[in-house]
Chains A and B, each alone.
Chain A
């Protein structure tokens, strides 16, 4: 049992300082007073000194502390790097396997200590079992965040930290200021030992980093700044690099080519401008052609998802003749400040006679069909074909380009009229292949029977028609005929149908939506939606129903999230070979089972994953789609009968974490040195110093010398004696 003196435990440092100052001032004043009065009575001095001591003791109340103490092993935290980078191959094994082996050696080395093994990556470290596979690794290895979390943690502070890593940490970075690093390590106040798991820098050509200058905006050039590296003794000269956009249903589109000139250097920077024409999530592949001897081919390409914003919607509106239907659509499009509208209306045909041969008297320009549908077509976000004859106006020859345009991500709307669909020569045309309905040759391209379009079950829940339904419920104006359409395509959605006409065994579609490759298409088989803008029916809503309808249709066409039936997102990130999960959130109004299909971006014919899941009444559901190979993917989630929502995403093998496979032992050495720790190799873990054991008191007894009242009485008596002596010597 050990014994020692102690002061009263209820005294704070501030109180001790305050009392010390008061008593010190008192002693000084007494000395000055005695000197000034020349009354040098020994009794006054003695009584004063005694009173001072008595007051100090009454305040401090000394006690005797007896304790029984036992020693336990120090607490040691082993931080194992959990970055995906450690999955890199390393001499027949992986860095991760070596890190686990090293951590086991550390645990053995500190067998007398209390060892906690944690994995660190992004954010706070988490417990890690060295014998079982851990959670999926992340992109980062943030040691600074892990050490900060340890210093903040309540309870016993560790006696030492051992970091097991390859040294290529996200933080502290390679150029971290020494003072800053010292500050981070100083917060913890204990030695940080480091174990470098590898020295092997494999021969490798890699896309080390991808930077973009600003955000991606549709139709605007985006500069990709690529850092290409060649390390580990691999000899690289000129390294070709290609950037491609992965698209659904067709071959990737080359966006840019370049060459990284690495002659004699380890690193080169290459700037490639790319232009993405379609808004939303676009998957872009950046790939280099590596020289022979490259040991890590996985980091030769990056597959990234760019969220492309749209500043303005660029629309091409082509109409075969001016009508009130054209008028209404144009007026609505022009009223939207965010729409850049390019319109061409056929105002005069060869049969028309303007009664002048002088063109200068006419305000007409030739319909630039060739220019529009070749040179300028990709610059439009969507094309609206309203009642225009494809044959008469030489549009037919451009329909293959229009099909490619839609498959590449463009949008198209065909609005009805006598010259639309079969009446305009679109039957069996390439454009028909991307429309959501079949057209088919017919000798009756349109019907003259009046009718009111009927909502389908899907139409009742489709968010694209929600704004319209909110205004006029399911009421619709009477139409004076309809185009003749065939049945809807397999994946298409019919929102309105004809109450009497049939297409095959089903009612004839009147309004249908469908995906085609990367793009979307809408078929509207009537020319009377202007009745929503201007008619006795329109008066009910002051014409707002027209805007509500077209806002929804155009919004759906442009993948505006407001008009999607569900929201799909990745849970975490998609890493090739690891289980991937998608979270699907149902939007209000939709109900039913979730049908989820995932297919690789690229030419059709590739296998696809299909999942079904019950959707909860509210909230979201997570669906495991298994392990995917590297590539771009398109997920289509359909809740009940609502239109499917599309979500494109990229899946990489190593991702950014594999961009730089070189180990960085120097950084680990620096961390160890600045914290007072030691850097070792896995085979030299025995050289790590053992931290001193922690003493734990098992029994503690506090015995005061006197009770507080006795100290107070003693002080009072001493003060009283001092007061008497002062009076005797003539002091006040």
Chain B
């Protein structure tokens, strides 16, 4: 492991700054992936899924060269520090409630700067949170309705080649997103991704329908989302296209 990454991990594992909310980062860490948990509207019981965000970073660090912060923080939609970094996760299982005017403004600024929000429905079986989150985000970005991402979208090949999204639940098998310009800015998951990654002590916090294989698929999706945040459509570049087309064809045979 190279010294810089060791440094990042060390700094992140201490986590003192993150817990206190202050931004006391080290060189090389300011640009590290940080899956912040968004709060806004009605308070959402996450039932231990907070650790899923931390595990998300951990999986990214051990599988890729990307630095990430292991101790994650919460960020409120109406706080200026929402715009401190370009990524956040909005997770929940009940109705998201109604976003206040200041929360709408905060999210609007976040998207205007190019931020990316993952909406993770922790209870996809009834889908209340997913629907209400869509409703509220439609108030923030009324001109951009969610669309289903094509299986060839770069999100499915930023690091792993993924055929379908999998989390704690199997969900609909597709991903919807609000796409502005060429970038997906709000990604809607109906698979409880944080649930698949969450830890409870030394074991997993929740069972996953497909067992180890599906949990691994969930981790891969999480890594891909992180890479999409960090590299955007890098894997759509012309130099990568022939390689990836051949590999995807081979995987499907």
Contacts and interface: CB of A to CB of B under 8 A. Distances in A.
A418 B231 contact: no
Contact of A323 (B1, B66, B247): B66
A683 B28 CA distance: 87
A534 B113 contact: yes
Interface string B102-139: 00000001001111000000000000000000000000
Contacts of A364: 159
B240 A322 contact: no
A363 B113 contact: no
B30 A419 contact: no
A698 interface: no
A419 B2 CA distance: 9
Interface residues of A, number: 60
Interface string B81-107: 101111000000000000000000000
Interface in A292-341: 320-327, 330-331, 334, 341
A423 interface: yes
B2 A389 contact: yes
A527 B30 contact: yes
Given A360-B250, A392-B2, A327 B86 contact: yes
B63 interface: yes
Interface string A342-376: 11111111011111100111111100000000000
Interface in A221-269: none
B227 interface: yes
Nearest to A539: B83
Contacts of B159: 347-348, 354, 362-364
B152 to A, nearest CB: 12
B205 interface: no
Contacts of B231: 322, 326-327, 330, 345, 347
Given A363-B161, A528-B31, A538-B113, A352 B232 contact: no
A363 B160 contact: yes
Residue among A342, A418, A528, A539 with the highest chain B CB neighbour number at 10 A: A418
A355 B216 contact: yes
B25 interface: yes
Contacts of A359: 247
Contacts of B112: 542-543
Interface string B153-173: 000011111000000000000
A695 interface: no
Contacts of A324: 30-33, 85-86, 230
B4 A419 contact: yes
Nearest to A354: B63
A649 interface: no
A361 B65 contact: no
Interface in A376-422: 387, 389, 392, 417-419
Interface in B30-58: 30-33
A199 interface: no
B28 A543 contact: no
B7 interface: yes
B64 to A, nearest CB: 6
A517 interface: no
Interface string A535-552: 110110011000000000
A536 B31 contact: no
Contact of B3 (A331, A352, A418, A482): A418
A341 B237 CA distance: 9
Contacts of B67: 321, 323
A364 to B, nearest CB: 7
A522 interface: no
A532 to B, nearest CB: 11
A527 B31 contact: yes
A404 B185 CA distance: 42
A333 B162 CA distance: 27
B65 A482 contact: no
A361 B32 CA distance: 25
Interface in B202-253: 216, 219, 227, 229-235, 237, 239-240, 243-244, 247, 250-251
B200 interface: no
Contacts of A360: 161, 247, 250-251
Interface string B19-33: 000011111111111
Contacts of B227: 322, 347
Nearest to A363: B157
B148 interface: no
A699 interface: no
B86 A347 contact: no
Given A334-B232, A361-B251, A419-B4, A446 B27 contact: yes
B49 to A, nearest CB: 22
A533 B114 contact: yes
A480 B29 CA distance: 8
Residue among A345, A347, A450 with the highest chain B CB neighbour number at 10 A: A347
Contact of A320 (B1, B65, B158): B65
A417 B234 contact: no
Interface in A504-547: 527-528, 530-531, 533-536, 538-539, 542-543
Given A418-B4, A543-B114, A326 B31 contact: yes
Given A527-B30, A539-B109, A362 B161 contact: yes
Residue among A324, A351, A447, A543 with the highest chain B CB neighbour number at 10 A: A324
12 contacts: A320-B65, A322-B66, A324-B30, A324-B33, A327-B86, A330-B234, A342-B237, A352-B65, A361-B251, A363-B159, A446-B27, A528-B30
> 5 shortest A-B CB distances, which residue pairs?
A481-B27, A418-B4, A323-B31, A322-B230, A324-B31
Given A324-B33, A479-B30, 20 more contacts: A322-B227, A323-B31, A326-B231, A327-B31, A334-B232, A334-B233, A347-B231, A348-B63, A352-B64, A354-B64, A359-B247, A361-B161, A423-B3, A448-B27, A480-B27, A527-B30, A533-B113, A534-B86, A535-B85, A539-B83
